[in-house]
Amino acid sequence: MEQSPNAQHLQVLGWFIGTHGWGPLMVALVLIHMVQVFLFGAFKYPRELTWIVGVFLLLMTLGMAFTGQVLRFDQDAYWGLGIGASVYGRMPLIGPKLVHIMLGGPIIAGRRSRVLRHPCLIIPGMLLAFVGVHLLMVLKLGVNDGLCPGRVVKRQTYLKEISRADRKTACLFSLTRSAKTLCSAG
């Protein structure tokens, strides 16, 4: 099964289908970020929920990479879809139903509307919502200070300490910015 030249060269924005092969790069970047967060211990109190949302973002990124590969519908996509269907099919109780939902029938055929619904509507919407929640939580709780061996985070005093540290950082930033503005004006 070859990729249709009509899809990439004759359709409006058909070149965009070729960009869906870059999914593994995004997966690699998300994995590197997750490893960095884990090594810095940024998943600990009070950022546990931020970590869980990040894990869901990783899973959605994996879903986007898979469906983006299938969207190209060349030989790699055909066999990748077959392997994905085999994996889903082995799940107890719900496996055959998931395969039917994914393929739109019992076999891989030209009818791809169900496979395309997920990457075009469901997963990107969920991905944007979870990225928004993730960023709001990072803004609310701040970023980790990095590796500080022996430093204990106390649940009772954390919010007071972090707001004090934020004020110090804001004052230092304001002073630096003011000095830079005075030096450039003079």
Give the integer Cα–Cα distance in Å for 66 and 60: 10
pLDDT at residue 93 is higher than 60: yes
Supply the pLDDT for residue 92: 93
Q: φ, ψ for residue 154 (rounded to 5)?
A: -95, 125
Place 1 in a pLDDT band, splitting at 50, 70 and 90.
very low
First to last CA, the chain: 69
| Residue, of 102 and 82, whose pLDDT is higher | 82
Among 36-45, 48-57, 88-97, 111-120, name the one with the lowest average pLDDT: 111-120
Give the integer Cα–Cα distance in Å for 116 and 120: 6
pLDDT tens string 121-159: 788 889 999 999 999 999 888 887 766 667 777 777 777
Supply the pLDDT for residue 130: 96
| Residue, of 58 and 5, whose pLDDT is higher | 58
pLDDT tens string 36-57: 999 888 888 888 999 999 999 9
Per the listing, tokens 């299938």 go with 70
Tokens of 114: 């169900």
Give the CA angle between residues 41, 25, 57 to the nearest 5°: 50
Among 104-108, 160-164, 171-175, name the one with the lowest average pLDDT: 171-175
Give the CA angle between residues 86, 52, 95 to the nearest 5°: 20
Q: Kindly report the average pLDDT of the chain as a whole number.
A: 78
Supply the pLDDT for residue 115: 58
CA dihedral of 20, 21, 26, 28, whole degrees rounded to 10: 160
pLDDT at residue 6 is higher than 60: no
